[in-house]
Homo-oligomer: A and B are copies of this chain.
Amino acid sequence: MIDFSVLRQDFPKATKVALVTDSNVERLYGDATVRALEATGLRVERIVFPAGEASKTIETYAELVRGLAVLEFSRTDFAVGFGGGVVTDLTGFAAATYLRGIGWAAVPTTLLGMVDASVGGKTGADLPEGKNLVGAFWKPVRVLRDAAYLETLDERERMNGIAEMIKTAVLFDPTLFEALRTLAAACGEGGCPLPPADLIERCVAWKERIVAEDFREGGRRKLLNLGHTFGHAIEHASHFAVSHGEAVAMGMRLVGGKVPEIGALLDAFGFPVLSRDDPHYTAERLLAPLAHDKKRSGDTVTLVIPHAVGDCRLEDVRLEDLRFAANMV
C-alpha cells in the first residue's frame, strides 16, 4: 500500500481530499485506500463512477465538480485520481476547472496509466463527436506509482500499456526497443509478462522529458501522438471493441510501413492486424474522425511518421491526400 504522507507536504493547507475512482478500483482497493489516506489526518470523501471509457463524459465531469462543490471543497483542498486513464483524465479535468483550478495527485493503477495518462498533465473528457475533445493541461502535483496494482490487471489492460511502451521505444530509444524485443520473447500461451520496473521508469522519464520541453504541445510533444491519430479513429470505428493498445498498435503499423521492425515487434507481442476486409474499417470510417482531430490545423493533419527506430518525424498531410491514399489501409 502506498504511503500517502507525502501528500501532506504537497498540500499543506488541505483539510479534505476527494478520492476519485471507478467502480472496479473501488471494489479492489477502495476501503484500504481510504484508510491509508485517513491515516494522514485528512478528511477523505469518495467519489466513484462506473468503470469504463463510456464514463469519460461531460456528464461524469459535471458530477465530479458538483461533488466537490457539495462537499464544500476549498481552493487549498485537493483530489486524488485513483485508477486508469479514464479516472485520472477526468479527475485532472475536474481539478483544473473546479474553482478555476485546485491541486490534484494521480495514483495510476494500470500500466497505461503509469507510463502515459498520469504523465504530462493532459486531462479531459470525450464528447459524442470524439475522444478527448474537451480538457485542460493541468499537471498533477504528485504521481504515486506502485507496481503492486499491476498484479490485478487483465491481459487487455496490460497490452494497452505495452503498446504505449513500444511507441516510446520507436520514437526515442533503440535500447528500450531491444529490451522490449527480449520481453516479447517471453510471451506465451498465458500472454506476455509484465515489463520490469526499470523499463516502466524509462518510459516515464522519456515522456517527462518531452513534456518538460513542450508542455502545451506546440511542437515536439506532438511526436507522442505516434499511432494515435489512426488509433483513435480505429477505436471509434470499432465502438471500442478494439482496445486502446490494439488500436495504437494498428495505428503504428499504418504509419510505420517504412520500418519493418515495428510490425515485427508488434507481431511478437501478438498485437492484431487491422483487417482490410472488416466493414468497420473502411477508409471513409477511419478518416471521418480526423476531421475532429486535435492535431488538425485547417485542412491538414499532422501525422508522426517513423523513418527508423529512434527517428520519427512530424509530417503535415492534407486530408485530401489521405483520402486518396486510403488504399494503404
Contacts and interface: CB of A to CB of B under 8 A. Distances in A.
Nearest to A121: B100
Contacts of A292: 69, 72
A124 B76 CA distance: 19
A226 interface: no
Contact count band on A: 35 or more
A191 B210 CA distance: 59
A100 B66 CA distance: 21
A58 interface: yes
Contact of A134 (B65, B129, B216): B65
Contact of A133 (B76, B99, B299): B99
A280 to B, nearest CB: 22
Nearest to A132: B100
A111 interface: no
A122 B74 CA distance: 18
A113 to B, nearest CB: 19
A59 to B, nearest CB: 8
Given A58-B58, A58-B62, A100-B137, A75 B129 contact: no
14 contacts: A58-B61, A65-B133, A65-B134, A74-B297, A74-B298, A76-B298, A97-B135, A98-B134, A99-B294, A100-B124, A100-B132, A100-B134, A101-B136, A101-B137
Interface of A: 13, 15, 58, 61-62, 65-66, 69-70, 72, 74-76, 93, 96-101, 122, 124, 127-130, 132-137, 216, 291-292, 294, 296-299
